[in-house]
């Protein structure tokens, strides 16, 4: 009988133990220093052995492995398709679906990340030489080693830039929580005439302490906007204190640790959505990522918190 063989097969190394056990009294069996599980597993086998030991010394199982007729019937009806088999089937299936979906998403991200690498591909980003909010030089080389999230804007921006920068601060926090210190947030002004390092510094400290704020000469910023394919509209000659707005592209550019462009996030992405995509890209990166605090020097040198309305005059 198929079922009887199955039961016997379940406890292949059991006979010797159980035989010794069956000779012991019930109480001593309980106190014996033997693992509890084999006993439970082979209850049927051992009890049947006790009754049939004389007749069938080599068999540990009886044909009546079931306690009740109902149990036997239900086993008979369901055949080899037990609930265990069903659960195993479903779990394996689900695991494979999850695995393949994840793998598909990973390959899709790899495709996006690799799209702009190599020859003959559209090139976004490239070498630049600008200055940060402390007036120190900051080049494209300084941006390498970590992922960088680059945003172009200007400090006198009425509504979109501050909203987007708040969103960017949210992304920074989520990515940082997920992957550590792997992301360098960079703000590049599209309005070099008004946005001096000190103005950028004042502006950015309200958003996130990790920000690198870049500015430079009119020509340097114009070139920077060109390599990032950003529309640049600052008038070349502005008088001090002149009031004007600047049109600029409002995308977040994700750059990988080699300085290559990955993809952009725009107004339609929430902070959570963009942070999720970035986190996945960062986790895909196989080479080491610099986890150091690039902004450490600056966060230490932040202007002491005083009255925010107090003008700082040198």
Partner 1 sequence: MALLGFGSENKTTAKKSSDGAYIAPDRTERAQCWEARDSYYSCLDRHDILDSLKEGEKAKNCCPEESKQFERNCASSWVKYFKQRRVADWKKEQTRLKLEKENAVNIADVKDGSVRIVNS
Binding positions for Cu cation are 157, 161, 248
Residue of the chain from 139, 244, 292, 297 that contacts partner 1 (CB under 8 A): 244
Residue of the chain from 12, 236, 241, 306 that contacts partner 1 (CB under 8 A): 241
Residue of the chain from 88, 94, 245, 302 that contacts partner 1 (CB under 8 A): 245
Contact between 111 and partner 1 by CB under 8 A: the answer reads no
Instruction: Note the Cα 299 to chain centre separation in Å.
Output: 26
- Tell me the closest approach of the beta carbon of residue 168 to partner 1, in angstroms: 15
Contact between 314 and partner 1 by CB under 8 A: the answer reads yes
Contact between 126 and partner 1 by CB under 8 A: the answer reads no
| DSSP notation for the chain | -HHHHHHHHH-TT-HHHHHHHHHS-HHHHHHSSS-HHHHHHTHHHHHHHHHHTTT-TT----S---SSHHHHHHHHHHTT--HHHHHHHHHHHHHHHHHHHHHHHHHHHHHHHHHTSSTTS-------EEE-TTS-EEEHHHHTTSEEEEEEE-TT--SHHHHHHHHHHHHHHHHHHHHSS-EEEEEEES-TTT--HHHHHHHHTTT-TT-EEEB--HHHHHHHHHHTT------S---TT----------EEEE-TTS-EEEEE-TTS-HHHHHHHHHHHHHH--S----S-TTHHHHHTPPP---TTS----
Q: Please, are residues 202 and 117 in contact by the beta-carbon 8 Å criterion?
A: no
Contact between 304 and partner 1 by CB under 8 A: the answer reads no
Site string for partner 1, 211-240 (x = CB under 8 A): -----------------------------x
Contact between 195 and partner 1 by CB under 8 A: the answer reads yes
Residue of the chain from 140, 181, 196, 249 that contacts partner 1 (CB under 8 A): 196
- Tell me the closest approach of the beta carbon of residue 265 to partner 1, in angstroms: 14
Residue among 164 and 195 whose Cβ is closer to partner 1: 195
Residue of the chain from 162, 178, 220, 249 that contacts partner 1 (CB under 8 A): 162
Choose one: 33-41, 200-208, 227-235, 259-267; the region binding partner 1 (CB under 8 A). Answer: 200-208
Contact between 19 and partner 1 by CB under 8 A: the answer reads no
Choose one: 4-12, 19-27, 193-201, 248-256; the region binding partner 1 (CB under 8 A). Answer: 193-201
Binding site for partner 1 (CB under 8 A): 154-159, 162, 194-199, 201-203, 206, 240-245, 268, 308-309, 311-314
């Amino acid at each position: 009988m198929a079922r009887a063989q199955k039961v016997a097969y379940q406890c292949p190394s059991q006979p010797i133990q159980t035989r010794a056990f069956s000779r012991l009294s019930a109480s001593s069996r309980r106190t014996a220093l033997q693992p509890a599980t084999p006993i439970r597993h082979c209850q049927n086998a051992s009890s049947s052995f006790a009754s049939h030991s004389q007749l069938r010394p080599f068999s540990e199982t009886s044909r009546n492995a079931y306690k009740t007729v109902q149990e036997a019937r239900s086993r008979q009806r369901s055949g080899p398709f037990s609930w265990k088999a069903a659960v195993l089937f479903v779990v394996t299936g689900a695991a494979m679906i999850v695995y393949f979906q994840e793998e598909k998403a990973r390959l899709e991200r790899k495709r996006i990340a690799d799209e702009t690498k190599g020859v003959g591909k559209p090139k976004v980003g490239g070498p630049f030489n600008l200055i940060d909010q402390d007036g120190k030089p900051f080049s494209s080389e300084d941006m390498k080693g970590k992922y960088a999230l680059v945003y172009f804007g200007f400090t006198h921006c009425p509504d979109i830039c501050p909203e987007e920068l708040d969103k960017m601060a949210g992304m920074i926090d989520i990515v940082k929580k997920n992957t550590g210190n792997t992301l360098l947030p960079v703000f590049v002004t599209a309005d070099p005439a008004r946005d001096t390092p000190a103005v950028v510094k004042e502006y950015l400290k309200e958003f996130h302490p990790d920000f690198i704020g870049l500015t430079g000469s009119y020509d340097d910023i114009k070139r920077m906007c060109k390599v990032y394919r950003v529309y640049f509209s600052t008038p070349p000659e502005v008088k001090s204190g002149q009031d004007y707005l600047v049109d600029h592209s409002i995308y977040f550019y994700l750059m990988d640790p080699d300085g290559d462009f990955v993809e952009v996030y725009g107004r339609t992405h929430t902070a959570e959505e963009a942070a999720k995509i970035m986190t996945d890209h960062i986790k895909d990166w196989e080479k080491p990522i610099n986890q150091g605090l690039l902004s450490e020097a600056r966060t230490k040198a932040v202007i002491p918190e005083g009255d925010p309305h107090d003008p700082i005059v040198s």
